[in-house]
Amino acid sequence: MKHLITAERFCLVAHFVTMVFGLAGLLIVMPHLGSILTLAAKIQPDLAVIIQQLFQWSMSGGGVANILFGAAAVALHAYRTLGLGNILGFMIPAVSLSLGSELLGTSTGFPFGHYAYLNGLGYKVAGLVPFTIPLSWFYLGLSAYLLAVAGLNAQSSLRPGTYWSMRAAAIFLGALLLTSWDFVLDPAMSQTAAPFWEWRQPGAFFGMPYQNFVGWLGTGALFMAIADLFWGKNPKVLSRSELRLPLAIYVGNFAFATVISLAGGIAIPVVLGIVLGLAPALLLWRQAPNGSLSEVKVEAEVELEALPLSALHK
């Protein structure tokens, strides 16, 4: 277990480090690459060559490394806290359905609109979708879903009659958190100096069609609903301390998208993302139980037994 925690933390730190380097490359190095190389050549000709090679590697492999580390961190955390069966019950539908939606979207325009992936995110499945894209759906989707389940279902366990409605609400809210991240990320990453994808038919929302968000919400809700069925009637609800990594993943990726959006003068999507995604994610984390769900149930039963019989009949 200790080795798992060490590996999990290493992947999380590496995820954030590659994220910071990505921001530096996109916002600082790329706009001034010519000046940087000229200055480096004056200092030492070999230095300019090294900087250029490093920059080319970061553009071709930095995004891949960032997603791989993020997926590994969430997968290790889920294996440790949820077990192998539960993580596979989420990962398989998340990766397969998101890949199917992306392949359908890049070839037909449904369900996201007409778009195409460019270079920088790794090998493309069928020449259309980078293999890293379904992994990003998985690790952001699982982080969002765990927050929604803990924030809502932990409360429903103490309220008879609300169990199934709370699980349905957790699926919708998890999908909404995932889509809200895309509110901020998509306009920025498709309009940077080195975009990772492009819209063939730009839409009204900062270059994106509104259809894109319907596609995100529907795809996320679909694989979360299937995962919920796999998890059965008693899904494990993580405690607030166990949710620190999913929350860090969500907040960190949201911050990454926010910085790029604001640097490009795109503010409205950030506000929408905060209202519909970041703020609810933080609130859900605060509502999660301090201990495990079983501990919460035991505490509730103890309190119930301590009540006088007259209070139970009121």
Q: Indicate whether 53 belongs to any domain.
A: no
Which residues, 6+ apart, have CB-to-CB distance to 94 below 8 Å? 134, 137, 138, 141, 142, 223, 224, 227
pLDDT value, residue 196:
84
Q: Indicate whether 287 belongs to any domain.
A: yes
Q: Indicate whether 18 belongs to any domain.
A: no
Q: Indicate whether 57 belongs to any domain.
A: no
Q: State mean pLDDT over 219-247.
A: 92
pLDDT value, residue 45:
80
Residue 312 pLDDT > 60? no
Q: The domain containing residue 133 runs over which residues?
A: 83-312
What's the whole-number average pLDDT of the chain? Answer: 87
Instruction: Assign 210 a pLDDT band (cuts: 50, 70, 90).
Output: very high
pLDDT value, residue 161:
56
Q: Indicate whether 248 belongs to any domain.
A: yes
Q: Indicate whether 69 belongs to any domain.
A: no
Q: What percent of the chain has pLDDT over 90?
A: 60
Torsion, CA 202, CA 131, CA 19, CA 25, rounded to 10:
-60
CA 150, CA 76: separation in Å to the nearest integer?
A: 19
Q: Indicate whether 2 belongs to any domain.
A: no
Assign 3-class secondary structure to 277-297: HHHHHHHHHHHCCCCCHHHHH
Give the chain's domain count: 1
Tokens 């916002």 sit on residue:
27
